[in-house]
Amino acid sequence: MSEEEAYEFVKRTLEKERIIPYKVDELEVIRSVEQCINCGLCINHCPVVAAVGVDRFSGPRSIGIELSRSPPEFWSTADKVYLCTGCGTCREICPRNVNIPEVVNIVRARIFQHRPDLVPKGLHTLREVIAEHSLAFEPWDDKEEKTESRDMRLERLGLPYIPDRVDVGADVLFYTGCQAEERAQEVREAAKVILNHFDVSFTVLDEMSCCGLPASLIGDDATARSLARSLKKKVKDMGVKKVVTTCAGCTSNLSMLSERDEWNVPVYHMIEFLMDEIGPERLSGSLSKPSKLGNVKVTVHDPCHLIRHTSRLIMEYSLSILRLINGVEIQVSEAPDSCCGGGGLVAYHARDVADAVVKENLAAIVETGAERVVTPCPLCTAQIESRLYKSGSSVEVDDMTVFIAQRLSHQE
């Protein structure tokens, strides 16, 4: 039998046995599972296990161990893999560097491809939105209403309106992200206020399109890859030198795409951009002036997508910036880095699980006695804000980009 015939024979046999070979880039992740020594640390630290117990979510080690080349075992994990928030705590704590969050993504992709009937309904609905609009949220039907909503938010926050710029050849692409584009418009507008304040040559996309992270979390690799290709073309066509975004998920995903797809353009979270490119001296010059907003006690929430998927340095930068702002007093939370439950698309199909996960976080926030919690991610902001409001707490929540823009705009 020739090599080619042998290959075809193996392929046919695998198909017949319903065994799906891994792609080259998946093998490294899968091999990490073999390193597991069953210590159980990941289970002890998983926020979903802590919130809902092992009967509902058997935990990271179980997902790793149940994984095999045999599809029926993938299918049996379907009621678990969609409850993982992708917080990355298990990977961080694991003494053997087992990459469970990536294993979860691989299993989700296999289920989506071969057993879409096992994908939660809420994720199918999201996929339809992404397929139709290339965005993770339904765009506003009425553009005038969208503008009115934007203006009301700006008025409430006392922020000026900086018109959008679509400028081929600008230095920086401000990538707005789906959440700030269609829901948290104040974050999108606040970012332009900051960039304008520091005279940054920036542009937005002519037409915003998703970075592909939600499609990838659903397991729809083909859509995620197609969105990534289209975004790379847009970035290249704009001729920008840097990409800046305000969302933690976009930061981690765009950083990965820039490296994987060779954009040759660095990606920054706004906080990183401010510290690395604007610099503490200029920041201090602008933020240390007294503000009409007065003194405020704040505590901080660390988004998982920044600290465990990008770099912990970004949250050190966040604290450094807060310390530069006149009138801000930081109250340290006992659990700033505990998951808010907003990741992994869990809230799209198991709201009760997402809400149970955030409880530890909320208790720690309230315990600090802070008046506001700030976090550099619109998704974490929305999740924490809605749950604090529901619990009757008076603690306010601010996306950090908005918090900074307000302090730049309300100086005495």
Closest contact distance (angstroms) between CB of 92 and ligand SF4 is 8
Residue 341 found at the interface with ligand SF4 (CB under 6 A): no
Return the range that interacts with ligand SF4 (CB under 6 A); candidates 41-49, 131-139, 252-260, 287-295. Answer: 41-49
Closest contact distance (angstroms) between CB of 79 and ligand SF4 is 14
Residue selected from 51, 67, 77, 86 as contacting ligand SF4 according to rule CB under 6 A: 86
The Cα–Cα gap between 146 and 183 comes to: 9
Return the range that interacts with ligand SF4 (CB under 6 A); candidates 89-97, 174-182, 218-226, 394-402. Answer: 89-97
Query: Which residues in 341-352 are b (16+ Cβ under 10 Å) and which e?
Result: bbbbbbbbbbee
Residue 94 found at the interface with ligand SF4 (CB under 6 A): yes
Residue selected from 56, 69, 96, 124 as contacting ligand SF4 according to rule CB under 6 A: 96
Residue 88 found at the interface with ligand SF4 (CB under 6 A): yes
Binding residues with ligand SF4: total (CB under 6 A) = 27
Residue 99 found at the interface with ligand SF4 (CB under 6 A): no
* Cβ count near 209 (within 10 Å): 17
Residue 2 found at the interface with ligand SF4 (CB under 6 A): no
Query: Among candidates 185, 404, 392, which has minimal Cα distance to 274?
Result: 404
Q: What is the dihedral of CA 47, 50, 53, 59, to 10 degrees?
A: 40
The Cα–Cα gap between 35 and 28 comes to: 11
Closest contact distance (angstroms) between CB of 105 and ligand SF4 is 10
Provide DSSP, 367-388: HHT-SEEEES-HHHHHHHHHHH
Q: What is the dihedral of CA 373, 204, 198, 239, to 10 degrees?
A: 130
Residue selected from 87, 136, 224, 275 as contacting ligand SF4 according to rule CB under 6 A: 87
SS (H, E, C) 167-207: CCCCCEEEECCHHHHHCCHHHHHHHHHHHHHCCCCEECCCC
13: its two tokens: 């046999």
Return the range that interacts with ligand SF4 (CB under 6 A); candidates 37-45, 137-145, 358-366, 370-378. Answer: 37-45
Residue selected from 29, 50, 67, 89 as contacting ligand SF4 according to rule CB under 6 A: 89
In single-letter form, the type of residue at position 223 comes to T
Site of interaction with ligand SF4 (CB under 6 A): 36-42, 46-48, 60-61, 64, 84-90, 93-96, 98, 100-101
